[in-house]
Amino acid sequence: MSADLVRPYGDTTGDGMVQTSFTLPLPHDKRAEGAALQLAAKMGMSPALLVHAKPMGPDFTFFVVYGSVTHLVDLREVHVVEREYPLLSSADVNQAIRSHLQRKLVVVGACIGTDAHTVGIDAILNIKGFAGEKGLEYYREMTVVNLGAQVLVPDLVEAAREVQADAVLVSQVVTQRDAHIHNTTTMSAAFREAFPTGQVPLLVAGGPRFEEGSAATLGVDRVFGRGTTPGEVASYLVHELVTSRTRPDPRGAQR
Ligand code: B12
């Protein structure tokens, strides 16, 4: 096999083994198990083994299937979004803000809509941070306003206006019925309506299930996904708002 073509690995290299789980709207019986195996075959698993089936109430069954996929991955067709800014230490971030902006960089964060999953935004903002990195509250040259969970978009816009936010950081974890997409597009539209063109704060959305490269569709400046660290976000903010600033300062100050 060419080095550009790979298959999943289970017991022996290239055996193609994968395991996946799903729920079918069927009561647990032999027919439901057959249906699960049919789905596995249609997903390219051949042969597939049913390794787990559990009734989820009277009308649904949860399945785990394990088997060898017939598909190959062609690495030449894998496209990734490379980080477009350098990673800075917290000292460099503070230094850049101090010398270029000559005031604190103001960040407002919130979990919007009905979403109450605050662990992600707290990981980025709270001083205790995430993955061994301190959160943005640790940065001496940043003022962080964390509005917490279930913040309504009009309240977020109002808070951003009140503190003259440079950046607004929004977290969306729940993806049921594409809530994360609807909430984020509603939020970005509200900011565009509330602020004059060119004075909208930098809009950043984050959460484990945002697609890389979906920022433009969502109307935000950038999207951060699973495993993001506070240092990445701080470096991005400095890149966009301080060192290569292309947008006017919301306070009208000159650099
Ligand atoms: C903890 C948790 C809860 C807690 C939340 C407590 C809290 N204060 O946050 C409680 C118990 C309240 C809860 C409730 C619910 N939950 Co819940 N919950 C979870 C769980 C187990 C962990 C989430 C978490 O904390 N991850 C850790 C953080 C650090 O990771 P993260 O959020 O991805 O954040 C990182 C990145 O994504 C990124 N990031 C995130 N936000 C942002 C924002 C910015 C600006 C940036 C830059 C980066 C960034 O940086 C972070 C650090 O790397 C997940 C399952 C899982 N294992 O993920 C389910 C999960 C998210 N919950 C789920 C569900 C369904 C619910 C409920 C609807 C359950 C119910 N029926 O009541 C409710 C909804 C409540 C509500 N109104 O939102 C589902 C969502 C499914 C879906 N498709 O949307 C999940 C996936 C579980 C599942 N498999 O079903 N939940």
Q: What is the pLDDT of residues 39-54, one digit of tens each?
A: 999 999 999 999 999 9
Q: CATH number for 16-76: choose from 3.40.1710.10, 3.40.50.300, 3.30.365.10, 3.30.30.60.
A: 3.30.30.60
Q: Is the pLDDT of residue 77 over 50?
A: yes
pLDDT for the residue 255: 34
Phi, psi angle pair for 115, to nearest 5°: -65, 125
Distance of CA 224 to the CA centre of its chain: 4
Peptide bond into 154 cis (omega under 30): no
Mean pLDDT (whole number) for 14-38: 97
Q: Which atom of ligand 1 is nearest to the CA of 169?
A: 45
pLDDT for the residue 244: 77
| DSSP reduced 3-state for 178 | helix
**245 Cα to the center of ligand 1, angstroms:** 33
Q: Is the pLDDT of residue 186 over 50?
A: yes
Higher pLDDT, 205 or 212: 205
Q: What is the pLDDT of residues 140-177, one digit of tens each?
A: 999 999 999 999 999 999 999 999 999 999 999 999 99
2 in contact with ligand 1, CB cutoff 6 A: no
13 in contact with ligand 1, CB cutoff 6 A: no
pLDDT for the residue 253: 47
**174 Cα to the center of ligand 1, angstroms:** 6
Close Cβ partners of 79 (under 8 Å, ≥ 6 residues apart): none
Going through 56-104 in order, the beta strands assigned E by DSSP cover 61-69, 73-74
pLDDT for the residue 243: 86
**145 Cα to the center of ligand 1, angstroms:** 21
pLDDT for the residue 251: 66
Q: CATH number for 90-243: choose from 1.10.10.10, 3.10.20.600, 3.40.50.300, 3.40.50.280.
A: 3.40.50.280
169 in contact with ligand 1, CB cutoff 6 A: yes
Indicate the domain borders of the chain: 16-76, 90-243
Q: What is the pLDDT of residues 117-143, one digit of tens each?
A: 999 999 999 999 999 999 999 999 999
Residue nearest to atom 19 of ligand 1 (CA): 117
pLDDT for the residue 3: 87
Residue nearest to atom 34 of ligand 1 (CA): 120
